[in-house]
Amino acid sequence: MTGSAGLSVILIAGSSHVGKTTLATRLSEALGWRMISTDGLARHPGRPWPVVRPQVAEFYERLTPETIYWFLRVHHENMWPGIRRLIDEEIEAGKPFVLEGSALRPELIAPLLSDSVAGICLYTETDFLHSRMRAEARYDQADEAVRVVMDKFIARSLRDNSEIFAAAKEHGLRLVDTADSAAVKSIYKELVGAAP
């Protein structure tokens, strides 16, 4: 991100529950841009709350943590050609937009960055994210069988948070810790200020 006044695309990467949708919504409202989530394009078995759907429970109960994470990565790789087409079509049409989602892997979006395309990666510390996810899931009120499913989803998300953080560092993508409200406020102001 160069801070050019020609900014027309903002890509927000990060694992589940780090705050991508919250920031994307605030930015799209402030800028008057379309907000798109990769969740709306295709969805890997998602969070097992507020209700645990049977197929989601079976997915997390039957598979090992390694296999669950492997499936997530394959899902993101399979989504990328469609996401890339969407990005190119929106740019071609001259429609400014904010796109957020876990499928925006840092290694895939880093080559797209330019004066008009900004990319950031949201992350947070493991303990903070773990506590946030348990609180949102009402983990303490769940029975043991549901907790097993929640634990596997949370473990998958924590691993993804670490993997995305490492990939962002490796590929030079801007990292923002969402537990740091000053950092989030700063990137928000910077991105809003960079738009024409």
Q: What mean pLDDT value characterizes the chain?
A: 93
Q: Is it the case that residue 121 has pLDDT exceeding 60?
A: yes
pLDDT tens digits for range 20-30: 999 999 999 99
Q: Is residue 122 part of a domain?
A: yes
The tally of CA atoms less than 13 A away on the side-chain side of residue 181 is 0
- What is the mean pLDDT of the segment spanning 38-46? 80
For 69, residues 6+ apart whose C-beta sits below 8 A from its C-beta are: 156, 159, 160
Q: Is residue 1 part of a domain?
A: no
Q: Is residue 17 part of a domain?
A: yes
Q: Is residue 24 part of a domain?
A: yes
**What is the total count of domains within the chain?**
1
The residue whose two tokens read 């348990």 is 134
pLDDT band at 3 (very low <50, low <70, confident <90, very high): very low
Q: Is residue 145 part of a domain?
A: yes
Nearest CA among 68, 76, 6, 89 for reference residue 38: 76
pLDDT at 2: 38
pLDDT at 97: 97
Specify burial of residue 21 (Cβ count, 10 A radius: 0-12, 13-18, 19+). Answer: middle
Q: Is residue 4 part of a domain?
A: no
Q: Is residue 65 part of a domain?
A: yes
Which CATH number covers residue 91? 3.40.50.300
Q: Is residue 185 part of a domain?
A: yes
- One-character DSSP codes across 46-65: ----SS--HHHHHHHHHS-H
Among the ranges given (44-53, 91-100, 110-119), the one the predictor scored with the smallest mean pLDDT: 44-53
According to DSSP, the residues that pair with 175 across neighbouring strands are 121
Residue-number span of the structural domain to which 122 is assigned:
9-194
* Residue positions counted in the chain: 196
pLDDT band at 1 (very low <50, low <70, confident <90, very high): very low
